[in-house]
Amino acid sequence: MSKELSLPLTSTATPAFWLSTAGIVILGSAFAAVCARVSVPLFFTPVPLSLAPFAVLLLGLLLPPRLALATFVAYLAEGAIGLPVFAPTPVVSGLAHLFGPTGGYLLAYPLAALLIAVLYRGTGRGFTSAALSAAAGSLVILACGALWLAVLTHTSIQSAFALAVLPFLPGDVLKIVTAAALATGFRRLRHRSA
């Protein structure tokens, strides 16, 4: 994003800064909502296959840490008040969705986006560092999802791992590679045009 958006959020920031920051957070949460709506239920697990984690990975790579965190806090708040931003499910919506089978994944999004943004900015910002940063965020999402599901369903960690992690590993590898390629391509394009 622009240079001024990576500056610390202080009381001396201009109204234009705050408007552009709010706009980025709203657009980012809208992008996450659109990705979440691309969802395929799986018959063997209560967790659907969704593009929402891809949004976390990509926005974590593109946005500065505070904006990445704010985007997914806003996303969770939108879903909690009942806006249709989470992956569709016939059973729950709104705040109840955060306490359902996918709650662990959802609650991990802000932390994962923040982690990705911090890791990526602390490296050379090439494809490899983007992929490794995205992979770290993906692991946080999967681990939180599995732990949440284990507690919610009173199953063992091994069973939760089989239901909440293993089925999603191939898709997550694809999401990581795609997010890293898009982020590094976007960065190169910005440097050429600057």
pLDDT digits (tens, 9 = 90+) for 146-164: 999 999 989 998 998 998 8
Instruction: Determine the Cα–Cα distance for residues 95 and 44; give it in Å rounded to an integer.
Output: 25
Give me the helix-helix angle, 127-153 and 52-62, nearest 10°: 140
More reliable by pLDDT, 187 or 57: 57
Domain spans, the chain:
3-193
What is the pLDDT at residue 93?
Answer: 72
**The CATH number of 3-193 is which of 3.40.50.2300, 1.10.1760.20, 1.20.950.20, 1.10.3720.10?**
1.10.1760.20
What does pTM read for this prediction? 0.89
Average pLDDT for residues 185-193, to the nearest whole number?
85
Would you say 73 and 29 are in contact if contact means Cβ atoms under 8 Å apart? no
What is the pLDDT at residue 154?
Answer: 92
Would you say 98 and 73 are in contact if contact means Cβ atoms under 8 Å apart? no
Tokens, residue 150: 């284990």
How far, in Å, are 16, 34, 52, 83 from residue 178 at the CA level? 32, 17, 14, 28
